A and B are shown apart, each in its own frame.
Chain A
Amino acid sequence: MHHAERDDYTAARRGVRSTLAEYPGDEGMKVDDLLPVKTIHAPTDPAAVVDIVRDCIASRTPIYPIGGGAALDFGLPAKTPGVGLSLAGLSRVIDYPARDMTVTVEAGIRINDLQKLLAIERQRLPIDAPQADQATLGGIIATNTSGPRRYANGTLRDYAIGISAVDGHGTTFKAGGRVVKNVAGYDFCKLLTGSLGTLAVITQVTLKVKPIPERSAVVVTPFRDVNHAESLLNTVSQSRTAPAAIELLVGPAWKNDPALGDLLPGQRGFIAVGLEGTEPEVRWMIATLIEELSSVGNARSLPAVAGGVPEAPSDVATSTRPTERHRGRSLQSDAREVATAETDALWQRLTEFPATGDAPLTLKVSVPPSYVIAMVELILAADPNCSIQSHAGNGIIVARFAEFSSTAFSKVLIGGLQPAAQRYAGSVTVLRAANPAELTHQAAWGNLGDSAMLMEAVKRQFDPHGLFNPGRFVYFAQ
């Protein structure tokens, strides 16, 4: 074969697109801004992915895997020139045995397309992914995307039961399988979830799926201050109901929300509790939860927290523990069900929050749930106009700053929020920054401690030449 012919052949087979203009259907992706790539390969079969990866290994060319392009600005900015590898052309449904409640699909399938397919059988992947018309399954697995319903349903690591991928040796491998219970071999489904495409290019996934619940509702209540909020959260965490989501919502993004209603003077934010189940279950849960929330802050003593709950560190969290301060005061809770017509749209806004707007900085904080309020206070001290969504039952906080100067990374993050979260064994990471050039390893990922060397050892085994998403993830802090 002549050289030129071979180039034509491989170009056609791999679906090379040399400019963004030729890239199909992703005008909003802005790859050129976010990745130092001139070429985006868009293969349409797994064998072509292997060819591309092997060629890149041979020429030591960095590879930036691309799903739907919804989270390309996550992590440290990419600096080393390389090629893009779009998986969007790998979107076939391999097998959907609905009665087994599993589905095997290629990694490039859009989340909306996957959910539409599952909905035909009244099933779903119960993971809330923003930009679902754009985001791909491989992409949300690589970024470990989650949302409000993680309280009841867990995260992607609980659903990926089989995976195929191409590692940095150019080896296609699989792990797990297509059955819901399987302990043969190492669990690379978990390892690759949240690995930001730095270990291998995911080509195919088998998922466990769940039935779509008959009914979904949200009960919302405003809170006045941190004590009130903690009392409400404590009550929800011990509720007789089984919430699907426990959300704490503060800041401008939630003002004038058509579903949540207006905050009255003296009210600081909302607690929204998602409920899912059969019609009678949800009806009972709405009534029960409203009753439980309404008693919070009234004369009756708060539910006791049994067991070995540690004392809060005195510097921050003392004021957030449930106290007797409300004893004897008659404080009516305003818990109510969100109107049915508004419920779906509210779920949608709760899902999209991390990806909405053009905040100069979006953070993700993880702490034990009882420290959520303390962290929210610290974030608000850094930016009083910050918009905050916390999956409070899981201890996850997403904060969209209204104002943030990139010079404040070291003061606010490294000197403030990160050590505060670490005191509670937690972490602060950057989801998105308007000025990523200023982002340092420490600001983006925090201090990984002694786990870093194990992660680096794993990275070296999967990607010995350091070609997958170089410089963007947690490894090799300078």
Chain B
Amino acid sequence: MATTVSNPLAELTDELRRILGHEGVLSNHSELVVYECDGFVIEKNCPDVVAFPQTTAAVAEVVRLANRLDVPIVPRGAGTSLAGGCLPVGGGIMLVLTRMKAIEEINLRDRYAVVQPGVVNAWLNQALRGTGFHYAPDPSSQGACTIGGNVATNSGGPHTLKYGVTVNHVLGLEAVTADGRIVRLGGPCEDSPGLDLVGGLVGSEGTLVVVTKVWVRLTRDPQGWRTMLAIYDSIDDATNSISEIIGAGIIPAALEMMDHGILVGVEQAYRLGFPLDAQAVLLIEVDGLEAGLDAQRDQIVELCRKCNAREVRQAKDAKERQLLWKARKQAFGAVGRLAPSYCTQDGVVPRTKLPHILRRITEIGAKYDIRIVNVFHAGDGNIHPILLFDERDREQIGRVLKASEEILDECLACGGSVTGEHGIGVEKIGFMRKMFNEDDLAVMERYRQAFNPRGRLSPAKMLPTAGACGIEQKHPGRRAAL
């Protein structure tokens, strides 16, 4: 006999404990607070209960329970979303998948691995070390973020320029539908008959199904690398170099840019010997067959010099390569030296518009009297301007929010996007109407209806429809990572 049926929350918690056991459910307020937000800390809301299923069958049972009791469900991986993808807007059940963390199969002959959604991105590559294969998508949070979360947001990373984003590496999914059925879409084979629902579900931010297993494509390790650091006296020269390199038919494995502002912080923190008067540096890496790498390196060096690079440094060995990457990877750690608080944006422009958008970012920073520094994936036009401020100053916060919005509006005016890899979540929901018209959104809403007709999965996310009019931002994020 069910206990305390008069209290719906108690019934929910009791039923979840029945399915998942005591250790699989959190319901004390002090425990729930941990799950009130993800990497996007502007808005917070506690879930009513947190559930930790360990099997697909348990996920299905929890989803069916949520249907019976009419409560929302928000799937969550490691909670590294920078866009509030895991914010439990309407409360309900937070379905945390981090205990489904087995790598079920690694098959090198057929170039795939099967992982549960809670497998941390970096774990898979640790398991693959020495096999000659790797899993290509490498978001900078890869030490913490889960592959299930990567699937939900279609994560990118520095190497997406050459290797593509998550969706290009997902072969199949097992998922629990909104009505609690278990389905398998795709799998170890390519070209499954029928609609490409795998492609249609990756990047759907938990609004369509709960992913419980992922078949990922494995990629051969490159034979070698050449890593260069080009130093410039002007930002335009640096961005022109990017255009020249790619225009010459070279697709680097990574092409990252840092501007003067971030360089100063990096140099103060790590003393890597960057000239403090440099306006920009490009970190350029090509990978592939040894037979072609020297020629590509020489061509890149020549193109950078043609674009007035003051100096092009080359890593002579693996140790020097690590040193060059250190500046890029730890750039965010150095931001703390520049200001008490910061927030970052995730706009995209066609890469030929980089000189324009960087000039506009400087102008927008001046207009609102906000210092902005830049470190980003230049090769694919994915900018991450970092707005520096002091969160104790309410008036400054208002200017940061206005400057952020103006930068993203400018990305759209350039024919770009307001998010390259972080997702819409709740943060960017207000921009959906700027990127898409009512008809586009109506078709997306109908598509969501096909999977999630009652709207119980991740309500109020991604689409600016009823109940998700966008959260008014009062406060920019304190913490962010690229």
- B-binding residues in A (CB < 8 A): 97-102, 122, 144, 146, 150, 154-155, 157-158, 167, 169, 171-175, 177-191, 193-195, 199, 210-212, 234, 237-238, 240-242, 277-278, 280-281, 283-285, 305-310, 364, 366-370, 394-396, 424-427, 429, 445-446, 448-452, 454-455, 457-462, 473-474
Contacts and interface: CB of A to CB of B under 8 A. Distances in A.
B110 A186 contact: no
B20 interface: no
B424 interface: yes
A477 B70 CA distance: 33
Contacts of B199: 157, 187, 189-191, 193
B350 A445 contact: no
Nearest to A424: B189
Contacts of B277: none
B167 A366 contact: no
Given A185-B462, A450-B183, A458 B415 contact: no
B181 A369 contact: no
B292 A175 contact: no
A211 B192 CA distance: 29
10 contacts: A102-B350, A158-B168, A180-B381, A187-B154, A278-B291, A278-B296, A283-B291, A307-B106, A367-B189, A458-B197
Interface of B: 105-112, 131-132, 153-154, 156, 160, 164-165, 167-168, 177, 181-185, 187-200, 202-204, 220, 223, 243, 246-247, 249-251, 288-292, 295-296, 348-352, 377, 380-382, 415-424, 428, 431-432, 435-436, 439-440, 442-444, 446-451, 462
A268 B349 CA distance: 53
B440 A184 contact: no
Nearest to B204: A186
A187 B192 contact: no
Contact of B108 (A191, A278, A305): A305
A427 to B, nearest CB: 5
B200 A191 contact: yes
A132 B443 CA distance: 32
A445 B199 CA distance: 19
Contact of B251 (A171, A210, A426, A462): A210
Contact of B442 (A100, A171, A458): A171
B167 A187 contact: yes
B289 A242 contact: yes
A425 B187 contact: yes
Given A169-B446, A309-B107, A426-B189, 11 more contacts: A97-B352, A98-B247, A173-B442, A177-B435, A181-B377, A183-B423, A189-B199, A237-B109, A366-B189, A458-B195, A474-B195
Given A157-B199, A173-B439, A457-B451, A448 B110 contact: no
B94 to A, nearest CB: 22
A309 B192 contact: no
A168 to B, nearest CB: 10
A326 B112 CA distance: 28
Contact of A188 (B112, B200, B350, B423): B200
B110 A451 contact: no
- Top 9 nearest A-B pairs (CB, nearest first) are A190-B199, A211-B249, A284-B291, A191-B200, A281-B292, A182-B417, A307-B106, A181-B420, A173-B443
A474 B289 contact: no
B195 A455 contact: yes
A194 B110 contact: no
A269 B442 CA distance: 53
Given A366-B192, A455-B195, A122 B200 contact: no
A308 B403 CA distance: 51
Contacts, number: 275
Nearest to B424: A184
B352 A185 contact: no
Contacts of B188: 368, 425
A241 B189 contact: no
A194 B416 contact: no
Among B204, B416, B417, B431, max chain A CB count under 10 A is at: B417
Nearest to A464: B446
Contacts of B447: 186, 188, 191, 458, 461-462
A185 B444 contact: yes
B193 A183 contact: no
Contact of A184 (B181, B291, B419, B443): B419
B55 to A, nearest CB: 18
Contacts of A462: 443, 446-447
A238 B132 contact: yes
B109 to A, nearest CB: 5
B433 to A, nearest CB: 11
A451 B106 contact: no
A368 B107 contact: yes
Contacts of A237: 109, 111
Contacts of B177: 454
Contacts of B436: 174, 184-185
Given A97-B350, A183-B154, A309 B439 contact: no
Contact of B200 (A102, A179, A180, A187): A187
B193 A427 contact: yes
B86 to A, nearest CB: 16
Contacts of B442: 171, 173
Given A184-B435, A190-B200, A193-B199, A454 B183 contact: yes
A99 B189 contact: no
Nearest to A121: B247
B350 A179 contact: yes
Contact of A185 (B291, B420, B435): B435
Contacts of B443: 167, 171, 173, 175, 188, 462
A181 B167 CA distance: 12
A237 B133 CA distance: 11
A38 B462 CA distance: 44
Contact of A427 (B189, B251, B292): B189
Contacts of B417: 177, 179, 181-184
Which among A97, A182, A306 has the highest number of chain B CB atoms within 10 Å? A182
A301 B17 CA distance: 54
A474 B194 contact: yes
Which of B106, B107, B442 has most A Cβ within 10 Å?
B107
Given A97-B350, A100-B350, A183 B419 contact: yes
Nearest to A172: B439
Given A277-B292, A281-B292, A370 B109 contact: yes
Given A167-B443, A181-B348, A451 B185 contact: yes
Contact of B109 (A171, A369, A454): A369
